[in-house]
């Protein structure tokens, strides 16, 4: 009896995992279709594409040494600025 119970729970777990995976894939397909249609109609790139382009640009900057990790002889910890109150 315990074997059948474990088998039943295992099958239910697999069924829920498959349903979850199919649901995520359906939402992904709907998002890609909506984003593509919006891209064609409005000309605005999807946010995922913009974020991916920014990540690629950051990687390229870091590899070429132009990023914030470029070596410098002077390390500036704090910049002091005066704040002027504009009350009259």
Mean pLDDT by 10 residues, the chain (88 residues): 92 97 97 92 90 92 68 77 81
For residue 73, tell me if it sits in a domain.
Answer: no
What's the domain range around 30? 2-64
For the whole model, what pTM was predicted? 0.52
The total of structural domains in the chain comes to: 1
pLDDT of amino acid 88: 60
pLDDT of amino acid 47: 87
pLDDT of amino acid 66: 63
Contact yes or no for 47/40 (Cβ under 8 A): no
For residue 43, tell me if it sits in a domain.
Answer: yes
For residue 88, tell me if it sits in a domain.
Answer: no
For residue 55, tell me if it sits in a domain.
Answer: yes
For residue 7, tell me if it sits in a domain.
Answer: yes
Convert 11-49 to b/e letters by CB count within 10 Å (16 or more is b).
Answer: eeeeeeeeeeeeeeeeeeeeeeeebeeeeeeeeeeeeee
Query: Which residues, at least 6 apart from 62, have a Cβ–Cβ distance to it below 8 Å?
Result: 69
For residue 86, tell me if it sits in a domain.
Answer: no
């Amino acid at each position: 009896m315990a074997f059948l119970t474990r088998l039943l729970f295992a099958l239910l777990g697999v069924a829920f995992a498959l349903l979850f995976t199919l649901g995520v894939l359906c939402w992904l397909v709907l998002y890609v279709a909506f984003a593509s249609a919006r891209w064609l109609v409005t000309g605005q790139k999807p946010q995922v594409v913009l974020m991916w382009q920014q990540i690629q640009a950051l990687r390229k900057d870091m590899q070429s040494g132009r990023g914030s990790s470029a070596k410098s002889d002077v390390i500036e910890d704090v910049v002091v600025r005066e704040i002027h109150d504009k009350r009259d």
